[in-house]
Structure 1
Amino acid sequence: MRHRRAIFIVPIILAALGLAAGELRASTQGVHIVNTPHNLSKSGTGTPNVTAASDEDRVCVFCHTPHNSSLEGPLWSRKSNISMYTLYKSPTIKSLPEQPQGVSRLCLSCHDGTVALGLLLHNFEASSLGAIPAGRNTNFGTDLSKSHPISIIYPTDQEFSDKSTLEYKGIKLGFDAYVECTSCHDPHNNQYGNFLVEDTSTRHDALCVQCHTKSGWATNEDATHRTGGQRFSEVSGVVSSDGCVNCHKPHFAQRGVHLLKQADSSSGEESNCISTCHKGASYPGGDVASSFALDYRHPIQLYPGVHEANETLPVPEGKKHVQCVDCHNPHQAGFQGSPLGSTSPAVSPPSKAPEVNGPLRGVRGVTTFGEAIPGEGYASSEFQICFKCHSGGSASYFKSNRSSTQRPVRVFSSYDESVRFGASSVSFHPVTKLTTGTGRSLKSDYQNGKMQMVYCSDCHAPHGSVEPYILRENNSDTFPVGAATFPLCFRCHDDTYLYGTAGSRTLHVSHVRNHLTPCASCHDPHGIPTLTGVTQNNAAHLMNFDTRYAGAGASYDAAGRSCTVAGTCHAAGDKRYY
C-alpha cells in the first residue's frame, strides 16, 4: 500500500513544480533540473556565478519541500522575500509595473542577492551557501529599472501579440495576465541556456518577437535592423541574427528607458547608434559618427534623456533637443530609396522629393500648417520631419551659436519654417509645394518642370558639415565675400545665365561678380514668411533683404522693377531701378 501511495504522490509533486513526467525522464542536457545551474546540491557542477553546495545532497530542497511549505509558491521552502524594488519606467510604456509578485518574487528571493541561497523557511539553514555575490550577472539587486519589467499586465495593443497565442509559444503569464520572470524563463529547464523558453541560438531575438510586434519591423522587407540588409555581407549576417538585441538588453541595460545598449550608463541614446555601429571609415553605411564631430552639426550629444516617442509636436522650447530617433525609426528604417532622391538607389524603388525614403520611414512629423500629423503621425515628406523642431513658436531655439550680428537679419523675419514654406508663401524654394514658372535661371536639366520639388537635404547635410548652417557646400552670407563663387546655389542655378548681359542679369554681374555681394544679401534661400506687410509685389523672386547690408528700410518693388536700399551697400540710401 505504501508503494502505491508513493506512485500516486509523485505526479502531484511534479505538477506542483510545473514539471511534466516526460521532462523528469528526459536525458537531454539541461532539460532535467539535475543538469542545470539550478542544481545547487553536491551533485551540481556549479557555474561561473554560483558555486554548488558542499554540504547538501538534495536537489530540490533549495526551493521546495514536501511538507510544511509556504503558501507563497508551489511547495515553497525558501525564506520569504520582503525586498522593495526600484521599478522600470518609460514614458511610452503601455502598462505600469507593480512591485514583484507571485513567481517573480520567488525568483528574486535568490536573484536579488539579499537572501542566502541555503537559507530556508523559519531561518533553517539547509546549506552554508551564501547570497549570490554582488556584481554577478545573476544578481539583479533591488534596482530593476534597467531590466525588462515584470509583474506588469500584458498589454492589449497593436504592437504586442494577441495574449491568446502566447501559451502555444511556451510563454506563460502569471494569473493569465501578468508578465513575470517565468514568461521568458523556465527554472526547471535549461535546454536553450539561461533557462529561456525559446531557442535563441540562431536568431538571438526569437523570444522577443514572440510578444513584441513593433509596427513595420516584420512587414517592411528592407527593415535593415531586422534583416541586416543585403548590401554588405560583412555586417548583414550579424545584424540579422541579433535583431532586437543589436540595440536592447533584457537585463542590465546601460540605459533603463527602452532597455538600450550604450557605451556606458552616462552616455546619451545616440551612443547606441554611433559608438557601436555607424562609425569608422570602413563602415559600409558611411562614417556617421565623424559627421557629428564636425563644427556644424545637429548636436545629438547634448540632449541625453530628453526625447520621448509621444512628445508634443512641434517640440516646445522646454523640450528642445535632437537625437538620432527624431529623424529615424530604428524599427522601420531600411535603405530603400537611398541616397535620398537618387534615380538609381541602392535599394529600389527610388524616392522623389518630397517623399521620405527607407531611412526616414515611420517617423512622426508636422504639417505645413505647423501642426502634428494626426493618427500614427508618420511623415510622408522629408520636410515634415524637419518641421518637428524647425516650426512653431520656439523654432528660433536652434539658431547658430554665432552672434546675431553675424546672421542675416531679414526685412520679413521668422525662424518658423512652416511659415516660410507655408501654403500661402509668396515666394519659396519648392520644398513643400510645386515650383512655378519655367525656371529659366536653372540649369537646363532642371527647367520646364524637370525639377518640381527639392528636399531640405539637397542643400543641408543633416548629420554634419564643415559649412555654417550645415550646408552641403560653401555659400557665404557675409559681405564682401572672398570670391564670387557660390557652389551651393550654382548646383542648380546656371551661373552663365545669371551673369549674362541682358535685363536684370546685369545686376548679378555688378553685385555678385564685381562687388562680391553674397546671394543671401538680397535673396532669402528658404522662402518669404507669410507675415503682415508681405505682398506678391514686395516679396517676389525670393527677395528679402539682409538689413545688415541693405539697411533697415530696404524694400523691393517687382512691378516697378526697383529696390530701395541703404546701409553698407548703398550709403546714400536711394532707389535703384533695373
Structure 2
Amino acid sequence: MSASSVLCLSCHDGTIALGNMINPGVTNDLGSTFVTGRALVGTDLSDDHPVSIIYNQNLLPTDPDLIHPNNVDLPLRNNELHCASCHDAHEDMHPPFLHKSTLNGELCTTCHIPTGTGWDWTGSSHATSTATAQGTNPWSDRKPAWTGLTVQENACMNCHTPHNASTPERLIKEQEENTCYLCHNGTVAQTDIQAEQQKFYHHPVEQTPSIGHDTTREENPLTMTLHVECEDCHNPHAMFSSPPMISFDPISPMSTNHSTAPFVNGSMVGVTGIDINGSVKPEVDYEYEVCFKCHGVPGKSACDNQRCSTANSYDMMRQDGVYNIRDKVNSGNPALVSYHPIELNNPVNNNEVPSLRNDIPLSTISGQIYCSDCHSSNVSPAGGGSGPSGPHGSTHEGILAQAYDFDPLNATSLSNSLCFKCHDSGNLYTDQSFPHDKHVIGENLACINCHDPHGSASNQHLINFLTFSNVAGQIREITGTGVFAEPTWVDNGLHNGTCWLNCHGVVHDGFDY
C-alpha cells in the first residue's frame, strides 16, 4: 500500500494515525472524531474496490471490460489507481467527493465497459430503463443526494457498490439473487421474479452453491459444480427488453409479438452455454444452449431419472434409459429416433403427426420450439398469461407453463393441457391415428406413459414407454410380454402399429392399432 491511499485510510479505516502532537502526554477522547457510517471502509479491504494497484496495459488481459489507461481521464499518477483516482478530497461537486458523478454510470464506465459479441453495456436495460421505484426503495443504501430516480440513472449502482460489498469479488451489494430481488420483486421491474421463485416448483437459485460461484466468461460449464443463479441464464450487462421468447402465442397463435425459435431474445444475450455437440460457447445463439449447461453436459445430467425442480422425490425410468436432454433432442445423435423440434425440425422425423394443430405457425416441415414453450411460469406468455417469462417457477410440476400429468394412472382429459398447445385434442380423442380416447379418457392414462416429451431413442412418435415410476410410494410398471422382454411397439406404417407389453392391467400380446 503506497502513501496516497494510506493517507485516506488513516481515517477511513476507523482509526486515526497521529503524527506530531502539539501537547504530547495529554490524553483526549478522540472517539467522537472516528469515521463512522458510510464513510467507514474498515481495515479489511477485501470487500472494497482495489486501491494502490498498477493500472497499465498489462492489466487489460485480466479483464476484457477494462478501458485502456490512455483513455482514462481520471488521476492515475505513475499508472497507479488510488482512492484519489475516484475521490477528490477538496471538492464535493459530485457527492461523495467524486471526480465524476455516478449517475448514468459516468464514473464507473470511465474504466469499465462490459462488451461482448454485438452488445455492450450502453444498450442494456440496466443502462437505459426509465423505470422508477413503485414501492420499497431499492437504492436505500445510498444517500438521496447520490441516488438517481430511475434504473438508468443509478446504472452500475443498481447492483454494485465500491465499498463494503456483500459479495466482494464483483463488488455486488447483496448476496447472489438478493441483489436482483431489490428491483425484480415488483417494485421496479414490471414482473415479480421473487414471487416466482417462491412457488412450489422452481429453479433452486436460492440454494447457495457449495463452492464459490462466478458466472463470468471464465466459468467452464463442463467442469463447474451443478448450480443455478440468476446470472447463469441472464447477463445483467447485456440483457435488454424484447418480445417474449416463445415460438407462438397460445392465445393469439398468429401474432408476431414473440421471438423466433430457437434464437435467444434480449433476456439471454451474452450468456455462456453448451452447443448441441457438447462444446462450450462463450456466448450462446440459441436458448437450448443455456439449458444444456445443466441438462446437457456430456456424460451427466442435472436430473438423470429423478424429477428435477420438484419437492417430490421419485423415479421415472424410460425404455431407452437416456436422461441427458441434449442427447434426447440432438438430431445428429444416431441413436435418436424421434424428438421434439428444439434443435432442428426434421421432416423425416415429423412425417406423421396428424394431431398437430393447423392454426399455429408450426408444421411437420418448418418451425422450431423453445424449451421455455413448455418449461415456464404458469402465468407466463407461454401459458397464455402476462406474467414473467421463463422457467423461474411454476405451480405445475417440472416448472411447466400448463398442466401435464406426471401420475401415470390418474390423468383426465384436462390434465395434459400443455400438450394441447400444439396438438389438437379433438383429433386425438376421435382416434384419428390411435385410440387415445380409450386410453386417456377410458383408462385415465397420462400421455407420459407412452410418450417422452423430449425425445426417444426407441421409437418414432416420441414413444418411449415409462417402464417404472414411483409416485408417492405407488410403484407402477410397464413390462414386456412373453414374446418381448421389454415393452415393445412395432411400427407397421401410416397410423398403424402393434403393442407387445403389459400395461394398465392388460396384456397387449400383439394388439394392433
- From 37, 57, 60, the equivalent of 1:156 is 60
Check the 8 A contact 2:328/2:339 in 1, yes or no: yes
Instruction: Count residues with an aligned counterpart.
Output: 442
What displacement does 1:364 show? 0.5
Q: Secondary structure at the residue paired with 1:547?
A: strand
Could you tell me how far apart the structure 1 residues matched to 2:307 and 2:212 are? 19
Could you tell me how far apart the structure 2 residues matched to 1:379 and 1:428 are? 22
Q: Are residue 543 (structure 1) and residue 463 (structure 2) matched?
A: yes
What displacement does 1:391 show? 1.4
The aligned residue for residue 576 of structure 1 is 511
* CA shift in 2, pair 1:315/1:478, >3 Å: farther
Check the 8 A contact 1:523/1:545 in 2, yes or no: yes
Give the alignment of 1:489-508 within 5 angstroms: 489-502=419-432, 504-505=433-434, 507-508=435-436
Could you tell me how far apart the structure 2 residues matched to 1:455 and 1:311 are? 25
As a proportion of its length, which structure holds more strand?
A: 2
What displacement does 1:206 show? 1.4
Larger radius of gyration: 1
What displacement does 1:127 show? 10
Q: Deviations over 1:173-196 (max 9, x none)?
A: 2422x3211111123333323221
Q: Are residue 300 (structure 1) and residue 205 (structure 2) matched?
A: yes
Could you tell me how far apart the structure 2 residues matched to 1:222 and 1:244 are? 13
Could you tell me how far apart the structure 1 residues matched to 2:168 and 2:91 are? 28
Aligned amino acid, residue 179 of structure 1: L
- From 209, 225, 229, the equivalent of 1:323 is 229
Cα-Cα RMSD: 2.9
The aligned residue for residue 457 of structure 1 is 372
Give the alignment of 1:370-519 within 5 angstroms: 370-373=278-281, 377-392=282-297, 393-397=299-303, 399-400=307-308, 406-422=314-330, 423-424=332-333, 425-436=336-347, 437=350, 439-446=353-360, 448=363, 452-461=367-376, 462-485=391-414, 486-502=416-432, 504-505=433-434, 507-519=435-447
Could you tell me how far apart the structure 1 residues matched to 2:112 and 2:189 are? 29
What displacement does 1:525 show? 0.4
Aligned amino acid, residue 418 of structure 2: L
Q: Are residue 555 (structure 1) and residue 488 (structure 2) matched?
A: yes
Q: Deviations over 1:311-330 (max 9, x none)?
A: 221354xx221111010000
Could you tell me how far apart the structure 2 residues matched to 1:187 and 1:133 are? 17
What displacement does 1:559 show? 3.8
Q: Secondary structure at the residue paired with 2:163?
A: coil
Check the 8 A contact 1:476/1:518 in 2, yes or no: yes
TM-score (norm 1): 0.70
Check the 8 A contact 1:247/1:272 in 2, yes or no: yes
Aligned amino acid, residue 245 of structure 1: M
Identity of aligned residues (%): 32
Check the 8 A contact 1:408/1:546 in 2, yes or no: yes
Q: Deviations over 1:480-534 (max 9, x none)?
A: 22422220001110011112244x42x2122112111111100000012xxxxx4
Check the 8 A contact 2:356/2:363 in 1, yes or no: no
* CA shift in 2, pair 1:365/1:172, >3 Å: same
Q: Which is worse superposed, 300-309 or 247-256?
A: 300-309
- From 184, 204, 211, the equivalent of 2:111 is 211
- From 161, 165, 178, the equivalent of 1:253 is 165
The aligned residue for residue 16 of structure 1 is none
Could you tell me how far apart the structure 2 residues matched to 1:142 and 1:522 are? 64
Q: Deviations over 1:265-301 (max 9, x none)?
A: xxx4001011x11113x65521111110000000111
Could you tell me how far apart the structure 2 residues matched to 1:410 and 1:135 are? 62
Contiguous gaps of at least 5 residues in structure 2: 135-147, 377-390, 469-476, 481-485
Q: Deviations over 1:459-499 (max 9, x none)?
A: 01101011111111111122322422220001110011112
Could you tell me how far apart the structure 2 residues matched to 1:315 and 1:350 are? 34
TM-score (norm 2): 0.79
Check the 8 A contact 1:306/1:321 in 2, yes or no: no
Aligned amino acid, residue 173 of structure 1: L
Structure 1 outlier segments of 4+, above 6 Å: 233-236
Aligned amino acid, residue 178 of structure 2: S
